[in-house]
Structure 1
Amino acid sequence: MKYTTPPYLKKGDKVAIVCTARKFAVEEAQPAIELLQSWGLQVVLGTTIGLDNFQLGGTDQERVDDFNVQLNDPTIKAIWCARGGYGTVRIIDAIDFTSFLQHPKWIIGFSDATTLHSHVHNLGVTTLHAIMAFSVPLAKEESKNSLHSALFGESLHYVIDRNTKNRNGQASGQLVGGNLSILYSLLGSASSMDTKGKILFIEDLDEYLYHVDRMMQNLKRNGMLKDLAGLVVGGMTDMHDNSIPFGYNAQEIILDVVKDYDYPVVFNFPAGHGASNWALKMGTIVELKADDNQVTVAFS
C-alpha cells in the first residue's frame, strides 16, 4: 500500500481540538490554544469541548459528529485529540473517512488515540503520535517543540543514550504502534494492523506486570512480533506488581517475549505517558540504529 503524508502546516492554518474520549473543559483548553496561536495557527474548538457525559466528552454520537465535521471541513488542516482515557474505540467504526482519504489532514494524539493511529494506518495515511491538548501545561519544551517540528515539516532526528537492556542493531521500516493496551484491545478487529517488516513502537501506563506479559504474549501469538524490523519501547510508566512478585520488570518481560527474534530492541525512548513525549510520525519510514553508545531514530 502506498502511504500518504498530509500537507504540513503553515502559519494561518486552522487546527481543531476535539474529544474522542474523555471530557475536556473549555478552560482546560486555554494553554493548548495559546500554544497553537504562538505558532501562528488558528484554533477551532470542536462542539465536544465542554460536553460532559460522565467520563466522556459527549455521547458517542456527539463525538462522532464532531470528528466528522472536522474531517469534512477543508479549512481544518489538523485534528488534535483533547485527551485520552477511554472512548475512541466506541466511535471509530462510525467515523466517515471518505473526504479525509481524498484530502488527508494530520490526526494528533497518543494513548487512547492509538485506535485512530492503527485504524488510519490501515487506510494508508500518516498520523502523529504526540502530546494532546490536555498535556500542554505539564509538557516539556522538547515535547512541544517536537510537535511543532513534525507539524511544520521540519527534520525529525532523535538521539538518546543507550539502555543497558537494549538489543543492538540497525533497521529501516515504517513506524507503527502506540499504546500497548490499545493495540492489544484492537486485535482481531478491522483496526488491527499488519506489522510485518515494520518498526513497532509500544508504551503503556499503570499496568500490572503480569498483564504486560499477557498483552505481549497475545501480540506474539497473533504474529505481530515475529517479522518486525525493530521494536522501540517508550515509557512503561507506573507499573504495578502483586503481593507475590511476577519476577520480571516490564523491560525483562518484553525481552523474554521477543528472545527468539533477531531485530534491534530499544528501551526508554522518550514517548508515551512519561515526562517526555516526543512526536512520532506514524506510518513514516524511519532509520533505527542502536549501538553501545547511543540510539538514533531518523525520519525520512
Structure 2
Amino acid sequence: MAYMKPFQLKQGDTVGVVAPASPPNLENLGRGIQFLTKLGLTVKVGKNVAKRNGYLAGSDQERLEDLHQMFLDKEVKAIICACGGYGTARIAAKIDYKMIQNNPKIFWGYSDITFLHTALRQEAGLVTFHGPMLGSDIGREDTHPLSKVSFFQLFQPLPLSYTEELSPLEVLVNGPASGPLVGGNLSLLVSTLGTRFEIDTKDKLLFIEEVNEEPRVIDRMLNQLYMAGKLSATAGILIGDFHECLPKNLSLTSDEVIDHYLKLAKKPAIKGLQIGHCNPHIAIPLGAQATLDTVEKSIIIEPGIK
C-alpha cells in the first residue's frame, strides 16, 4: 500500500505549532520557533499551546481543536509538535480523519506523538515524520546540528540513506527487507493493541525506540508485541535509541532483552540507529517505503514529501 505524501515546504511557507500531549517548556519552545524562522518559515502557534491541565497541555477538547484548526488552515503547510509527554491517545478517537485526508500536510513529532503517527497513517493514509520537536529537542541549547539538519528533508524530496557514517550499526538477524516504515516509541505502540488504532506491522519495516524504562519493562512490552504477532508479521525490524534504559538491580540488559525477541521473530533486524530520545536525533518519514540491507548495513528510505 502506498501512503499519501504531503507537499514539500518552500521559503515563506507557514508552519503551525501544536501541543497535543503535555505542556512544553515555553523558553525552549521559543528557541525552537526561532530555528523555524531562520529556515525562512512563518510560524503560527496554536492558541492553546501554553495552557496547562496537570500533565496535559489544556483539555482534550482544546488540544483537539488546535490540531483540527492547523489541518483546516489553508495557510499552514506543516504542523510541528512542541513536545511529547502524554495525552495523544486521549484525543485519537475524536479526530476527524476524513478532514485530514482531504487536507494532507506535513505532520512532525515523536515520543507520545507515536500514537498520532499510527492513527494518521492507518485512518487517513498520511505519511508523517518521526523527528525532534521544538520544545524538547530543537530549543535546547545543546541540540546537535544533525537534529536540525533533519528538517531539510521537508524542503526537497530526496531519499534518506542511513549508514554507519551516522552511527555504528549491529546486525541481529541477517537478510534483506523492504516495506513501508512504521513504528515509533515502544510504549505507545503497545498501547495501541486491542484498540481501533492497533499498529499494523504486516510486511512493514518496524522501527522501535524507548526512553527511561528498565529492561524488565522493555521485556514485558516486547513480549506483548511478540505474542500479538506484531514482530513476526514484519518484513524487518529497526532498533533506535533505548535511552537510559538501564537496570536498577541485578538484571538482563536492555540489549540482551532486545536481542532475545528479535531473534525469536526471525526477521531481518539491525540496531544502533540514532533515532529517538537521543542527541542527535535523525528524523525519518513514517509510511514511506524503506529498504534494509544487512550486508551493507544500510537503510534507504524514500522521500516523505512530494
Question: TM over 0.5: same fold?
Answer: yes
The 2-side partners of 1:241 and 1:26 are apart by 33
Picking from 138, 153, 159, the partner of 2:157 is: 153
Letter in 2 for 1:77: K
The 1-side partners of 2:195 and 2:201 are apart by 14
Structure 1 unmatched runs, 5+: none
The 1-side partners of 2:154 and 2:301 are apart by 10
The 2-side partners of 1:8 and 1:150 are apart by 6
State the match for 1:278 in structure 2. 282
The alignment status of 1:212 with 2:218, answered yes or no, reads yes
State the match for 1:299 in structure 2. 301
The alignment status of 1:61 with 2:61, answered yes or no, reads yes
- 1:1-300 matches, within 5 Å, as 1-24=1-24, 26-123=26-123, 124-134=125-135, 135-136=137-138, 137=140, 138-160=142-164, 162-164=168-170, 166-243=172-249, 245-246=250-251, 248-291=252-295, 295-300=297-302
> Closer, same or farther in 2 for the Cα pair 1:70/1:197, shift >3 Å?
same
* Contact 2:182 2:204 survives alignment (8 Å): yes
* Contact 1:24 1:51 survives alignment (8 Å): no
* Contact 2:173 2:263 survives alignment (8 Å): no
The 2-side partners of 1:151 and 1:19 are apart by 23
* Contact 1:46 1:66 survives alignment (8 Å): yes
Give CA-to-partner distance per residue, 1:175-226, whole Å, 9 cap, x none.
Answer: 0000000001111111112111110000000001111011001001111011
Letter in 2 for 1:129: H
Aligned-pair distance for 1:165? 5.5
Aligned-pair distance for 1:115? 0.5
Letter in 1 for 2:42: Q
Aligned-pair distance for 1:260? 3.4
* Contact 1:26 1:49 survives alignment (8 Å): no
Aligned-pair distance for 1:26? 4.3
Letter in 2 for 1:278: I
* Contact 2:172 2:263 survives alignment (8 Å): no
The 2-side partners of 1:261 and 1:46 are apart by 42
The 1-side partners of 2:210 and 2:245 are apart by 9
* Contact 1:20 1:88 survives alignment (8 Å): yes
Give the secondary-structure state (helix, strand or coil) at the position aligned to 1:260: helix
The 1-side partners of 2:27 and 2:265 are apart by 48
The 1-side partners of 2:273 and 2:239 are apart by 6
The 2-side partners of 1:88 and 1:30 are apart by 22
Deviates more, 1:104-113 or 1:262-271: 262-271
Deviates more, 1:154-163 or 1:183-192: 154-163
Deviates more, 1:103-112 or 1:161-170: 161-170
Structure 2 unmatched runs, 5+: none
Letter in 2 for 1:73: D
* Contact 1:162 1:290 survives alignment (8 Å): no
TM-score normalised by L of structure 2? 0.92
* Contact 1:251 1:267 survives alignment (8 Å): no
Aligned-pair distance for 1:164? 4.5
TM-score normalised by L of structure 1? 0.93
Deviates more, 1:163-172 or 1:187-196: 163-172
* Contact 1:150 1:279 survives alignment (8 Å): no
Output the aligned Cα RMSD.
Answer: 1.6
